[in-house]
Chain A
Amino acid sequence: MKAVDDNAAMASLLTAVAPLLRRYCAAQLARYRRSDWAEDMVQEVMLTLHLKLHTFNAEMAFTAWMQAIAKHKIIDTLRRERMVQVPIEEAEALGDGSDENAMAQRDLAQLLARLKPPAGEIIHALKVDGVSVKDLAAKFATSESNIKVMVHRGLRRLARLLAEEKA
């Protein structure tokens, strides 16, 4: 009779916590773009809850205990899959002032300097600084179509230069 009661209690406990676990796992995994793993994670956490039930005691809040197990399992799975999350602050820092970014800027300046003037300056102004064709035409005292032709030829020459460097 006691075993039947225990089984029913376990079934109702797991049924009650399933939606909570599903929400928690989905929210945590979404940060790693792995929401699709949520259901598998819910099942793994349920299995662990069953096996480690003896580590719960009445002094703890059940939800906190369950979330601690879920958190551990999620971290463990992500570690196994070698998923690394970079906090947004760190990602911005990498994008802003990294050596890689500075090197790319230097490479671009060197390549543009190898074009026939003022093609390099025009391409930089148009593609990097976002100056309009109309403004460039006024600045260089030429027609808009001439600017477009210079940009087109300049980009073709840049492509050739890059291909030569790679070869």
Chain B
Amino acid sequence: MRTDELIALLAKTPRPVPPLGWTAMLTLLVAAITALNVAILGFRPDIAAPPLSMALKSALLLALLVLAGMTLAHAARPIATVHRTPALAFAGVLAAAVAWEWTHVPAAEIVHFFFLPNFPFCLGAVTIYGALAAGALTWLMRYYAPADTAKAATNLGLAAAAAGAVGYSVHCPVDSPTFVVIAYGCPVAWVALTARALLTRHIRW
């Protein structure tokens, strides 16, 4: 086929319908994971009168999700742009929350959270929900055109695990910032790294 014939053909072909946006997809995923989590594990006991610490935990996890979603949306384009300031601001807030806890709460009380059954449960649940979300995001990414597929796969894993963390957090009764950083941070990190290793080849375009 000659190029001018292809141009004529493409001009006549209807434009493909744009795929679902990243914000819509992540919102759907958080809703689905939360529903699944509540159906299986239920809400945390104090959900009717949530303490302020839960609001802080939810805010941190939602900020992570928004940040990961923004990064994913940028990485899904042929020209990827990097915005480091929000990530640095988030890391600063997280570090400040952990520092505040270690200066105001006895160390034994913080360390105690890691000996509760919630800790391994948290690691497992966020990983499983993250993996499920990563599958859905991989399907969507095939309709996009990431400049760097390895980076896009990492961001995809990060956003998926963040969605899993937000969904699971309605069950988890521990609001300690140190606990959140470790028990939610570890699965987020390994889901992101596993996504980089396994999903890069599946999002080539």
- Count of chain B residues with Cβ under 8 Å from any Cβ of A? 24
Decide: B205 and A52 in contact? CB cutoff 8 A.
yes
The interface on chain A, measured as residues whose beta carbon lies within 8 A of the other chain's beta carbons, has a size of 29
Q: Does residue A137 face the partner (Cβ distance < 8 Å to B)?
A: no
Determine the distance from Cα of A72 to Cα of B77 in the docked complex, in whole angstroms.
12
Q: Bound state CA distance, A31 and B12, in angstroms?
A: 35
CB distance from A56 to the nearest CB of B (A): 8
* Cβ-based interface call for B120 (8 A): no
Which residue of the partner chain A has the closest CB to B7?
A14
State whether B3 touches A39 (Cβ < 8 A).
yes
For A42-60 the 0/1 string (1 means CB < 8 A from B) is 1100111011111101001
Q: Write the chain B residue with the least CB distance to A71.
A: B78
Known contacts A55-B77, A68-B79; decide if A46 and B144 are in contact (CB<8 Å).
no
Bound complex: CA of A68 vs CA of B204, how far in Å? Answer: 14
Query: Cβ of B76 < 8 Å from any Cβ of A?
Result: yes
Q: Which residues on the A side are within 8 Å of B45 (C-beta)?
A: none
Binds B, one of A2-10, A103-111, A116-124, A145-153: A2-10
In the complex, the answer to whether A52 meets B10 with C-beta atoms within 8 Å is no
B1-51 contacts to A (CB < 8 Å): 1, 3-4, 6-8, 10-16, 18-19
B145 interface residue per 8 A CB criterion: yes
13 contacts across the A-B interface (CB closer than 8 A): A7-B11, A10-B11, A11-B10, A11-B11, A39-B3, A46-B3, A46-B10, A51-B16, A52-B144, A53-B16, A55-B145, A60-B79, A72-B205
Additional pairs, 9, CB under 8 Å, beyond known A46-B6, A48-B145: A3-B14, A10-B11, A11-B7, A18-B7, A43-B3, A50-B13, A54-B16, A55-B145, A65-B79
